[in-house]
Structure 1
Amino acid sequence: MKTTKDGNMTTNTRYHYIDNLRTIALLLGIIFHAALAYGASFQNIWLTSDVTNHIVFDFIAKWTHLFRMPLFFVIAGFCGALLVNLRGENSYLFNRFKRVFLPFLVFLPIILGSTLAISFWAASFVQYRPPIFELFELVESPTISTMHLWFLFNLFQFCVVFWLLSKWQRGYQAIMGFISRPIFLIVVLPFVVGVSMSQQMIPFPPPDKLFPQLWSYGFYGVLFLVGASLFHHHSVIQRYEKQLVWLLLIAVVSSYFYFAHLPAPLEMVDVVTALNNGGVVHVEVDVFLVVMQTFAILSWTAVCYLSGYKWLNMPDNLSRYLSDASYWVYLIHLPILMVVQYGLINTAFNVFIKFTLSILVTFTLSILSYHFFVRSTFVGSFLNGKSYSVKEVNKLA
């Protein structure tokens, strides 16, 4: 990604690690959603939950949930600041409208419709019906969910706020400078995130409603601003990279206490109540668990970001291809995964084989659909704009 000179920024720099981290964050969505079907904790809430399960998949889902989307929003903020720096505030907002909000409007009805159709299809032949099928008959007025596309809806909200902030240049620069300082990242950020998450169930839910949810602003929205600040003050990353071992230690210790104190999975009656209340689960605040969750989220996100900066800042055609493909793959992977996992429910395969097959088949079909039907078509331009090879990128840089 090219930049112009801005403060301590270096001109004509391509941040390959940002592309690679974005790819990883999006493609981890396949692993996360696949694990939900085979984790015992999610049997009452997931559409494709299988009668065979294992605690390993509880851990995979809950661990990746801590950092996968937080990392994505840090990267989104970095890219947002880059676009404002390159194109100006108004061009940035127009670009985000085209690449974020319009795909949300187009793909949400497609995903919702295909999910319902696949669920009705599965109900006609699966020997084990996931418990949530029965719940649908008990819910009086279900709330429309944005499903896994919630990130687009929330991201565009943050983009609008960021656009407004960027027009206030003096305040914008002061805020970006403050956010990059240790006092913010060590003290203010954990406090804001912890307070924002304190009224949410643990593990935290997605902000998947068709209206703004303020707690997500104090969580994902603030992380978006962290990413923007790292763009403007990129040199500070070298200083923070030296703390990678300590951050990893904090991540491991906080995760240990987080997993050791997790509440029991929701009972069926709790799920029904939540669905009838618009998906809201009323919880008692466990301060210790909120603190451990907050430290685990922020430390794992920092570890992933700094690891990418240290080891993934290299260009090659495969990583560039996957970077372009990852947006499409994430958008359409869930219906494909559902078909695969429903097809596996009736089999006697070992749960680890089911998990592996569901990931491999979903990823393969998603990539093939991108390569043959998206990459060189108007859909690819709609999602990513013009694609460039590594050689072309280096010429542009």
Structure 2
Amino acid sequence: MQSSPRFHYIDNLRSLALLLGVVFHAALAYGPYFSNIWFTADPTNHVAFDYFAIWSHLFRMPLFFVIAGFCAALLISKRGGNGFIINRLKRVLLPFVVFFPLTMLVLYHALGWGAEIAHEKPALFTVFQSVKEPIISTMHLWFLWNLTQFCLLCWLLQKHASLYQSILAVVVRPAFLLVALPILLTVALYQQLVPFPAPDKLYPELWSYDFYGVLFLVGAGLYHHHIRVQQYARYFIPLLIMACLSLVPYFYLMPSSPSLEAIIRAANTGVTTPEHIDIFVVIAQSIAIVAWTGVAFLAGYKWLNQFSQLNKYLSDASYWIYLIHVPILIYIQFPLSNTTLSPWLKMFVAVSATMALGLLSYQLLVRHTLIGVLLNGKRVKTARSQQQATPIS
């Protein structure tokens, strides 16, 4: 077993990506674009929340899967293939098996309670009443289910060492990242809604393999060829400019929000293929995904590569907070929807209260319990944790 330096920016980026999920899901309630889609869509809204949600959606989960691939390669290098897959089954699959049914039960109660107290029910409740046999969704826990699948495939791939290393060497080359990767993402997302949906079905969704699976491999390649990260960091400013410019055609070509009829049809069939596919907006979306994910990763490398007790605490707590945050948001946002507060103040209250409850419950119920061991592994002394990596993506 090899020892590895701790990549602090990976830990910090991972926690930020997860915690950004709280802000993202809270914002969905206050943007008019998502008024037909989200559980707690508020009658008072502002278009700024749409722009934030659509922008952050471009890189939040793509960045997470790049980090997950990085951590997977690190674990394989450190513990070997069998040690890697055992760790991933314990830290990724087992939490999914435990929290999926619990989250469904709590979410069911939260929505029923919200329907009773809300003065104005969100449009999505019309969908609930119209769907006869809904397709089971893994909700916001879809990332655990998809990550388990990718880890199993990575475990099989690493058994063929030469092929594994050859693939990882290719996916971090400039030509692949700038040309091949946007093309692969365009192919993957061609028949999906824009903005792209979550691959939240219990059965494998092949487009997710071509999208998140490829990004997972890029992350693994960046671990084995970390010198590439140092080289690409020199071009951070040009990449940031490119990322900002990519938003112009993306937002300009953005299709209108799905109608209730389209949402009902998708909920009944599980098919998210739009009626009309605009290849240009799909291409614009793919370029923006690559650019903004690269910006986020390199920003972390440049400015977040340091250890602190606060960062370590947030890194550990972020997993728990992400797992529980959607039901908490629902319990908070439904009462807020009955008030005349501005959407900005509602957003602040929802995010602040969710984060506070998440941190408090982590400290009291998780950090020093078996749940903490399940999610983050056994705690180690600070001096050791600064020297060794214990991937939790």
**TM class, shorter-chain normalised?**
over 0.9
CA contact (8 A) 1:320 1:390 kept: no
Structure 1 residue 47: Cα displacement: 0.6
Residue equivalent to 1:254: 246
Q: State how 1:196-207 maps to structure 2 within 5 Å.
A: 196-207=188-199
Unaligned runs of 5+ in 1: 5-10
Structure 1 residue 284: Cα displacement: 2.5
Which digits, 9 at most, give the CA deviation of each residue in 1:26-84, with x for residues without a partner?
Answer: 00000000000001011111111110010011011111100000000000000000000
Structure-2-length-normalised TM-score: 0.97
Out of 356, 370, 393, the position equivalent to 1:378 is 370
Structure 1 residue 395: Cα displacement: 5.7
Letter in 1 for 2:207: W
Distance in 2, matches of 1:56 and 1:127, equals 24
Letter in 1 for 2:253: H
Structure 1 residue 13: Cα displacement: 1.4
Structure 1 residue 177: Cα displacement: 1.1
Distance in 2, matches of 1:289 and 1:142, equals 29
CA contact (8 A) 2:307 2:386 kept: no
| Higher alpha-carbon deviation: 282-291 or 188-197 | 282-291
Distance in 2, matches of 1:356 and 1:50, equals 14
Structure-1-length-normalised TM-score: 0.96
1:33–1:395 distance in 2 versus 1, CA, 3 Å:
closer
Distance in 2, matches of 1:105 and 1:151, equals 13
CA contact (8 A) 1:178 1:184 kept: yes
Letter in 1 for 2:90: K
Distance in 2, matches of 1:329 and 1:169, equals 37
1:12–1:215 distance in 2 versus 1, CA, 3 Å:
closer
Which digits, 9 at most, give the CA deviation of each residue in 1:336-367, with x for residues without a partner?
Answer: 11100012011111110000100000000001
Structure 1 residue 243: Cα displacement: 1.2
CA contact (8 A) 1:315 1:390 kept: no
| Partner SS, residue 117 of structure 2 | coil
CA contact (8 A) 1:76 1:224 kept: yes
Between the two proteins, the alignment pairs up a number of residues equal to 389
Distance in 2, matches of 1:227 and 1:25, equals 15
CA contact (8 A) 2:63 2:296 kept: yes
Structure 1 residue 390: Cα displacement: 3.5
Distance in 1, matches of 2:153 and 2:165, equals 15
Structure 1 residue 228: Cα displacement: 0.2
Which digits, 9 at most, give the CA deviation of each residue in 1:204-240, with x for residues without a partner?
Answer: 0000001100000011000000000000000111111
Query: What is the Cα-based RMSD across aligned positions, in Å?
Result: 1.3
Structure 1 residue 272: Cα displacement: 1.5
Out of 64, 73, 78, the position equivalent to 1:72 is 64
CA contact (8 A) 1:176 1:232 kept: yes
Residue equivalent to 1:326: 318
Letter in 1 for 2:205: Q
Q: Percent identity?
A: 50
Distance in 2, matches of 1:79 and 1:172, equals 15
Residue equivalent to 1:242: 234
Residue equivalent to 2:98: 106
Distance in 1, matches of 2:192 and 2:270, equals 14
Higher relative contact order (CA 8 A, sep 6+): 2
Distance in 1, matches of 2:388 and 2:140, equals 34
Which digits, 9 at most, give the CA deviation of each residue in 1:71-114, with x for residues without a partner?
Answer: 00000000000000000001111110010011111111111111
Q: Runs of at least 4 residues of structure 1 off by over 3 A?
A: 394-397
CA contact (8 A) 1:42 1:265 kept: yes
CA contact (8 A) 1:38 1:57 kept: yes
Unaligned runs of 5+ in 2: none
Distance in 2, matches of 1:247 and 1:255, equals 13
Out of 353, 378, 396, the position equivalent to 2:345 is 353
Distance in 1, matches of 2:110 and 2:271, equals 22
Residue equivalent to 1:171: 163
Letter in 1 for 2:326: L
Structure 1 residue 12: Cα displacement: 4.0
CA contact (8 A) 2:182 2:286 kept: yes
